[in-house]
Structure 1
Amino acid sequence: MDKIYHIGTVGQAWGAAETAQWLSEQTVKRSFFAEVLPAIEALTTDFTLEQYGELDYRHVSGKTYPLFAVKSRNWQSDKPTVLVTGGVHGYETSGVHGALRFLQTQAKAYSAKLNILVLPCISPWGYETINRWTPDAVDPNRSFATDGKAAEAQLVRQYLASLNTSFALHIDLHETTDSDNSEFRPAKAARDGTVNKNWNIPDGFYTVDDSEHPCPALQKAIIDSVAKVTHIAEADENGELIGEKIAQFGVINYAKASLGLCGSVTDAPLVSTTEVYPDSPSATPEQCIQAQVAAVVGALDYLLANN
């Protein structure tokens, strides 16, 4: 069905007034400073924390959000380097808490053989407002190209460039939620002056490979690992997930660099974007977090076995 959004005029892209109206409707619903930052700070016993920037949103929420990277301590140039990103879309809860859970439970063991770098919450304002966009109504996960408009994405790009290192693998933790159809896709169509057609929300976990540089064996390793924790999404009657033809069971492909996706932010030959479905009647919030951890573990085990 077509979904008409309550802000803007059909067929006309938003201007400043519509963006301001949208922003005025966003409210803080949970706390980055209570739920996420203490968990990051507690990792200092076993990891190195680096603040790679901050988001000064005092004009929006009265807050300035620090942005942290968590690095394994025994960093060595001869070891493969792995990047895990969470919370590019702040509303995708298990992406943030899955990255943190991986650090809390698994990352130290892997750091003997790998350099581990985790950015657990790239969009903290989005986390607090349970939102996909920045306060300027920009999608961070379309902003990782050099001309991207989201500070959240550009600060990540600048930080990674400053490390002057090559990455062997990057796994970016996401969710596909029912609110994609009820809120975010209609809002995007209204913002852009286009017509929205809702897609089928897959019930279960899936991954997004890079159609420009596919690594199907990695995706299968991730799917096999996650299947031990929660169910994998079945294709719809058209053989698709979110409107894309499946490349293999539980996997679709996107052109990540062309779309400015976070998955294109490094030179890693192995890349995957995870998609957890938190609204499934068959999955709990804890299972969603465990699915993200299983995805990372499956990816790292694949890297180690094939390095």
Structure 2
Amino acid sequence: MSKGATVIEILNRLVDEIESHLGDDIDIDGIAAASGTTGYHVRRMFSSLSGMPVSEYVRRRRMTVAASDVVGSEDLLSIAVRYGYGSTEAFGRAFRAVHGVAHGVVRRDGGPLRSQPQLRFRLTVEGSIPMDVRITERDAFRLIGHAARVPLIHEGANPHIQAHIASLPVDEHTRLKRLGDTEPAGILQVSADVDADYAEGSELTYLHGVAVSAGSPVPDDLDAIEVDRGAWAVFRTSGAYPAALQAAWAATATEWFPSNPWRLRPGPSLVAVIDRAEDFSTATTELWLPIERS
């Protein structure tokens, strides 16, 4: 695979590799490296654009194709091994998860079956709504605040994060603001240790806190996340909260990254609330994503 391929080209190559090796483990890191990018970026872009992790797509495609074999008379262990499973039990669990019924039912009745079509990624550039983004280089810094493990939710308010914030004393926000001494300024919503597949329901570390310089002391009652030196893409958005922010987050995958010579690098994502309505129904926010040149 040649260097300099676009995100869309790389994702379509990955889909082709999956289709050609449905019974094998897919070397996403190797495919990404051969295309001049990283497995981390490919996994995040795949999940953002398709709405599912690569692993889930592979399972659905395997079980879609395997269904035609199950309807036949071949022994189930041979079918299971062909699609990468070491036992009929493991194959059966995957089959039921995709089709909603046991393979025995399908063999007897011919269905019901659920099909996962082969994906094909395409870039459609509308250009009607420009994205407000700036690129900034930052030295290493530190994030301090109150952290909790929460599940990832793609749309709507995350009740687990809301409960975590609500558990903090009212005056704690004032204290945190006093501690912050570098950009991004103000109280930050930090997502760290996010699953590379960005799968909904997977756990991440949410930190409610502020940014401080790398050498700043960390109070004993606060958690800390170290942030490496590097570039950041900062997307500003205004509108209904959190809908406008989540739409901007999605647009980074569908519009910005495919059209610009940058890719995601590992690291936390940050949301700074610049201004908001009293009831938080609307807000102006900045979404900070760690990036590197493709």
TM-score relative to the length of structure 2: 0.24
- Greater strand content: 2
TM-score relative to the length of structure 1: 0.24
Larger Rg: 2
